[in-house]
Amino acid sequence: MLVICDMMGIPRSEFSTVLRATNVILGAGDADRLGGRDDVLGALLEAGMQLTSLMNELAEHRRVHPADDLTSALVHANVGEDVLTPSELAPFFILLAVAGNDTTRTAISLGMQLLHENPDQRAMWQADPEGVTAAAVEEIVRAASPVTFMRRTVTRDLTLSGHQFHEGDRVVLFYGAANRDPRVFADPERFDVHRDPNPHVGFGGPGPHFCLGAHLARRELAVVFRQLFSRLPDIEVAAEPVYLRSLGIPLVGGVKHLPVRFTPTAASAGSS
Ligand code: HEM
């Protein structure tokens, strides 16, 4: 969330507003995320409006005072009809903030949990961060599959894997199931930090909707685990994860809490 806000040029003083609002949008089925409110719709609308006015005000400011951020680049872009209109900017920001918030956070938490359940894999990764990180990050995204599903509408009649689809049919893609397809992955239930090849679809399938933030997410996961291993090398899971409650099938398999314990090191002991 901090990285996305910094990229967009959102002032640091507004970070907590963005965090709270995106938590409401993705976790409206969980009372903890509603801060004591019981009208889900009202909370959702308020969160959407907060993010919209924040972005509109920032865009207005950047039109006159450009800075080195994405908002300035977007409002001053000169790419003909592909440019985002003023009314599209806020929805784009909300999409970025929501798509990049719980996803990466959940991948980090479930990654920690997977390492806890597979100490041999953790030992291999921790002993060789340079050599293992890239493959381990892909394996976390495959095994955790933080985005649960997306929905599509079939645009033409076709037969796929022996199943007939008709134009207009609504279908749901369950990423976690595809990422455990035994026809694609050897021993799919095994968490293997060296898995290769690893053609997972945790960031979506090939095509125009492939995750816009995949490179950023990969980098964030790599940095987080490298830093954890070097600064808090004995960090370990101290209790079961607490999952986000949902009104239906959750879009993101969010983890609300994952208690961990560690020995504070000199570098971390002084900071909060
Ligand atoms: C581990 C972290 C992440 C995972 C697992 C993930 C996964 C996904 C998935 C499955 C999709 C849907 C693809 C499809 O519809 O076929 C998606 C779309 C998207 N993601 Fe991510 N994502 C992650 C992080 C991020 C981050 C950090 C950002 C923002 C910087 C981001 C921005 C987006 C956007 C904007 C879309 C919509 C793309 C479109 O429909 O054109 N994601 N992501």
Q: In Å, how far from its chain's centre is CA 220?
A: 10
User: Where do the DSSP E strands lie in the chain?
Assistant: 149-153, 158-160, 163-165, 170-174, 236-237, 242-243, 255-257, 260-261
Give the pLDDT confidence score for residue 67 in this predicted structure. 97
3-state DSSP assignment of residue 147: strand
pTM for the structure as a whole: 0.93
Q: What is the pLDDT of residues 130-182, one digit of tens each?
A: 999 999 999 999 999 999 999 999 999 999 989 999 999 999 999 999 999 99
- Dist. CA 40–CA 31, nearest whole Å: 9
- Dist. CA 128–CA 178, nearest whole Å: 29
List helix spans (H) across 118-236.
119-127, 129-144, 175-178, 214-231
**Closest Cα to atom 6 of ligand 1:** 203
**Closest Cα to atom 30 of ligand 1:** 213
Residues with CB under 6 A from ligand 1: 4, 95-96, 99-100, 103-104, 107, 141, 146-147, 150, 175, 202-205, 209-213, 216-217
Give the pLDDT confidence score for residue 271 in this predicted structure. 44
Give the pLDDT confidence score for residue 252 in this predicted structure. 72
27: left (phi over 0), alpha (psi -120 to 50) or beta: alpha
Give the pLDDT confidence score for residue 272 in this predicted structure. 39
Going 97 to 236 to 129 to 177, the CA torsion angle's sign is negative
**Closest Cα to atom 15 of ligand 1:** 209
252 DSSP assignment: B
Interstrand relation of 158-160 and 170-174 (parallel, antiparallel or unpaired):
unpaired
Residues 6+ apart with CB under 8 A from 56: 86, 89, 90
- Dist. CA 129–CA 230, nearest whole Å: 10
Q: Of 2, 89, 103, which is best to mutate to test ligand 1, by the most ligand atoms within 8 angstroms of its C-beta?
A: 103
Give the pLDDT confidence score for residue 268 in this predicted structure. 52
Q: Widest CA span of the chain, in angstroms?
A: 63
Ligand 1 nearest atom to the CA of residue 95, by list position: 35
Spell out, as residue ranges, where the chain has pLDDT lower than 70.
Answer: 248-250, 266-272
Of 73, 96, 84, residue with least CA distance to 21: 96
Give the pLDDT confidence score for residue 267 in this predicted structure. 58
3-state DSSP assignment of residue 14: helix
